[in-house]
Amino acid sequence: CEVHHAPDWARGGRTDADKQFFACGADHAMATKGELRTVITDNGRLGWTDGTGPPEINHAHHPEELLPGDPDPPEPTR
């Protein structure tokens, strides 16, 4: 897992926490080479596209979306 800046740091992207996203090494390398483009989705996620289709989300970095919900979640704490 690597950290990707969006917009790309080499192209002037900032290093603010809300501009950094987890990326697998292959996607990060392809973006660095210009083979993939990153897009911030409407819900603030990082999407990857090669320009031939809509951005795709790498769900490996969002396991909570792949696991079934807890039927009895704990009460929030203060």
Average pLDDT per run of 10 along the chain, which is 78 residues long?
78 79 84 87 85 86 70 66
- Is residue 74 in some structural domain? no
List of residues 6+ apart from 65 with CB closer than 8 A: 59
Domain with 50, as residue range(s), is 2-62
- Is residue 55 in some structural domain? yes
| Confidence at residue 70, expressed as pLDDT on a 0 to 100 scale | 66
- Is residue 17 in some structural domain? yes
| Confidence at residue 41, expressed as pLDDT on a 0 to 100 scale | 84
| Confidence at residue 75, expressed as pLDDT on a 0 to 100 scale | 73
Q: Is 4 helix (H, G, I), strand (E, B) or coil?
A: strand
- Is residue 69 in some structural domain? no
Q: What is the pTM of this model?
A: 0.62
Whose structure tokens read 């320009």?
Answer: 51
- Is residue 75 in some structural domain? no
* Overall number of domains in the chain: 1
- Is residue 35 in some structural domain? yes
- Is residue 9 in some structural domain? yes
Tokens of 10: 């080499």
| Confidence at residue 35, expressed as pLDDT on a 0 to 100 scale | 92
